[in-house]
Amino acid sequence: MAPPPGGPSNGGAEAPRARSGSSAAPAIEPFPKAPVVQFPVETASLAITSVVDLLIAASVPAILVGPDRSVKFVSETAKALFGTMQSELSTLSLIEAAAGVRVGELSTPATAGIRIRDRSVLYALVPLSGGASGAVLVFRYTDSSMQAHAPFVTYVRETVFDPLRSLRDSLSSLANTRGSADPSLSDAAAAVEQVLSSLEMAPGVSERAAPAPAPTVSDVVHRVAKRYEPYAELKGIRLQVDAQELTERFGDHERLSASLGILVDNSLHYVAAGGQVVIGVRWMEHKGKPLLLFFVMDNGPLVPDELRHEIFEHGFIWNPAGGRSGRGLFKTREFAMAHGGSAWVESRTGKACTFFLRVRPEGVE
């Protein structure tokens, strides 16, 4: 899809040079049905105590939110996940800031993939029913299976590999020294080698596993869009991708993904049902030098002219009840500046609001 009128501008850069055709928007997967926890009238009742007891027994990072959006309970595993104390998670705004996610209507289930302290986490809002509102915010590690087996993996690496390797080498040396006099030594060395090979192929055990290659910048754009599809579907907003199929790989792709996620999340917050959000990337040239231009466009309200620069400042205070501004945009600008680029917003047509993130080729591998 081509950007709407007045869409991507690079603040003085030359026109985009297309590498290939635009990719199709990713298919939207069905939104998972969240479980419903029975929760009677909101009081200091046995029902609330039972929910809290259940969260404690399950040892899951979770936060109980009352119908007035006040924080009623924070599990110990949630404190450990955020690496903070109860007082620093005492309000919903503090939790939103720590998790980097906006908590919507408590009566509407929601889910999103987020990053907390360099860990991949699946966030879910589970509404409570049974005579009162409120919700449980659940945070699950996406690599929970490996997390559970981490002690065993560490044990194998530290106490099993080296002894087995020494035994294999000793048996092989003895077999070579004695020749065919004792074939059982060769058989024993081969058996130990087979055990070592099996252990090295086990998930998470091998200490020589090659790291996964960084995704292309086009893949990053598609992944960000896919992460926010459930939220967009809940609000009745059409989320589309307009990205060239580029082969460049960005070294700091996780921070790139987080910066683009901030822009998409802000657009989804301000666009009304039936609206549209487009995320994309262009490979461009400016004064003979290549650069990458990412953009997020929407047909929501425009950013007032007097706030176009202020919203990217570190000390800017977000007011959700006021006109359009944005939350966490300073992180996007800091990322851009760290890679020799910039971030800004435009609304030249008066009909679409477009946020831009531009980085120089020094950030591209």
Domain ranges of the chain: 37-144, 149-200, 217-363
Determine the pLDDT at residue 220: 92
Q: Containing H/E element for 123?
A: strand 119-129
Element (H, E) at 81: helix 76-82
Q: What is the pTM of this model?
A: 0.46
Domain boundaries 37-144, corresponding CATH code = 3.30.450.20
Task: Pull the structure tokens for residue 322.
Answer: 């006021």
Taking the chain (365 residues) in runs of 10, the rounded mean pLDDT of each run is 48 47 50 41 45 67 87 86 81 88 84 81 78 75 54 60 67 60 67 66 53 81 91 90 85 88 90 93 81 92 88 80 80 90 84 89 47
For residue 239, the number of C-alpha atoms closer than 13 Å in the C-beta half-sphere is 29
Dist. CA 261–CA 277, nearest whole Å:
12
User: Are residues 110 and 234 in contact, defined by beta-carbon separation less than 8 angstroms?
Assistant: yes
Q: Are 78 and 61 in contact (CB under 8 A)?
A: yes
Give residue 293's identity as a one-letter amino acid code.
L
Q: Name residue 244's beta-bridge partners.
A: 22
> Hey, which CATH number is domain 217-363, 1.20.140.10, 1.10.3720.10, 3.30.70.2740, 3.30.565.10?
3.30.565.10
d(C-alpha 199, C-alpha 193), whole Å? 10
What is the per-residue pLDDT for 205?
56
- Which pLDDT value is given to residue 52? 65
Structure tokens at 187: 């058989």
Measured CA to CA, the distance from residue 316 to residue 318 in angstroms comes to: 6
